[in-house]
Each structure stands twice: as C-alpha cells, then as structure tokens.
Amino acid sequence: MLGRVNHIALAVPNLAEAIETYTSTLGASVSEPELLPEHGVRVVFVTLENTKVELLEPLGETSPIAAFLARNPGGGMHHICYEVDDIISARDRLVAAGCRVLGDGEPKFGAHGKPVLFLHPKDFFGTLIELEQV
Amino acid sequence: MLGRVNHIALAVPNLAEAIETYTSTLGASVSEPELLPEHGVRVVFVTLENTKVELLEPLGETSPIAAFLARNPGGGMHHICYEVDDIISARDRLVAAGCRVLGDGEPKFGAHGKPVLFLHPKDFFGTLIELEQV
C-alpha cells in the first residue's frame, strides 16, 4: 500500500533561520516559502536526490504546529508523508484494521494540491503518518 | 553536501509489533531483524520505493534508544540519515560552522557497514541527523 516517501516534515520555530542552516551549513537546495493557511503552516521544501524534507513554521493562532512547538520549543521531527495510489481505499483498509484517521476522516488538500489524510500517531508507535494520493 | 535520504529512523518499544503493523496494516515489505550491539539497537528496514524506514528497538542496558523511549514510551521519530560522499570533509565543514558532532567526533560503522556520524539535534532545530558515507 505504501508507495514513495513523499517528504519528511520537521517543525521549526523560525523558518528563516532553518532555511539559512539547510542552505549554508548543510549545502542543500531550499524552495521559496509557501503559505498554507488551511493547514496553519508556512512551508519550504528541502530538495534531496530521492525525496524532500518539509520545514514547517506555525501560521496563525490555531496552527497545529504551534501546539507541537509548545511541547518541543526548539523544533523536532513532525511527520512522514507516504504516497498512495488511492487514498480512499487506503483509508478504508486502515479504518477496517482499527486505525484512526485524524479530523473528520475526509481528505484535505495538501501543499501540492493533492488529497491528504493524517493517521493517529498512537496507532503507529508515536509517528504521525500523512498519506498523499499522487 | 546532503545526498539521498538513506533512511528515516523510528524508535519503537516492541519490534515484533511494529513489524506486524508495517507488514499487515500498512502493506510494506520489512527486512529480517539485525542486532547492532555497538549501537545498542535491534533493527529492521521497511523498504519503500525511494528510501527506507528503519525501525529501532533498544538492545542492552545502555541503549541510546532506551533513553529516547523513556521520554517517549509509545515510540517516535528518532533521526534522519543523509548520505554524503566524504564523511570527513562533511564533518570538518560542519564543525567549522560551529555544529557539534556526537561522541568523540570520529565515524563509527552503521547498519550497512559504512562510516556514520551523528550531529547534535540542538544545532538542527531538534532533529537528530545521521550522516552516512556511501
């Protein structure tokens, strides 16, 4: 069911500082910042040869990243996004196996304009999993 | 400097349960367990199309994963491993930029028998970074 790792997402308290570190210190290529108000984040993508790292900064008062950063003020690893061919069939299979989908269980549209869902980290050993239909 | 994402490592309290979840529930392919006593872990690799997820279970009394699981009893995202061409030149560049290398600063040999180093998470917004020379 799981396809490619689309991205690994890291929450950071200050996106400008993180861009500087990934560009200058780590020598990576970083995209222009994008605002995703419906997800409560400002994001950039670090382009690696085989996948991407998404750097997330909170946007707005109710950002889910703000709550994460309150627990991890310096930042931290936030989620892994796996690609799936059919997000509805993937969801139905997971729900049938007893896994919990976050929110209302219906896909939202992610940073790439594709349908995404998040799975409860308690069902996956503390790792928040995003599924993206590609 | 950063090449491919070699793997994303997730700490789990019980490797057998995690293997079952990744195999049956998520439909992924998982390698046979390997013991790495010098790193204090028992590991499997989940094979994805473009990279791998490493599942880590503590091995021995002084496992670094045991300390992580004491803070995160259900498990959690532990580190990202990036490939580099030359680990000594990468280390020297990072140290010159003020970054801290864990341990004595000399490469150890990782799960693939290749030289690896770990960078202090406080220098990278709470994310533990492993570098592996390939």
What does the radius of gyration of chain A's CA atoms come to, in whole angstroms? Answer: 15
The answer to whether residue A8 neighbours chain B at the CB level (below 8 Å) is yes
Q: What are residue B29's phi and psi, to 5 degrees?
A: -100, 130
Residues in Cβ contact with A6 at an 8 Å cutoff, skipping those fewer than 6 apart: A51, A52, A81, A82, A83, A130, A132, A134
Beta carbons of B97 and A24 less than 8 Å apart: yes
Distance CA B65, CA B72 (A): 10
With vertex at residue B87, the alpha carbon angle to CA B45 and CA B32, rounded to the nearest 5 degrees, is: 15
Domains of chain A, with CATH numbers? 2-133 (3.10.180.10)
Whole-model pTM: value is: 0.96
The answer to whether residue B102 neighbours chain A at the CB level (below 8 Å) is no
The answer to whether residue A86 neighbours chain B at the CB level (below 8 Å) is no
Distance CA A130, CA A83 (A): 9
CB B98 within 8 A of CB B89: no
CB A110 within 8 A of CB A130: yes
Beta carbons of B97 and A3 less than 8 Å apart: no
The pLDDT profile of chain B, 134 residues, written as one tens digit per residue, is: 999 999 999 999 999 999 999 999 999 999 999 998 888 999 999 999 999 999 999 998 889 899 999 999 999 999 999 999 999 999 999 999 999 999 999 999 877 789 999 999 999 999 999 999 99
C-alpha B12 chain-centroid distance: 12
ipTM > 0.90 for the complex = yes
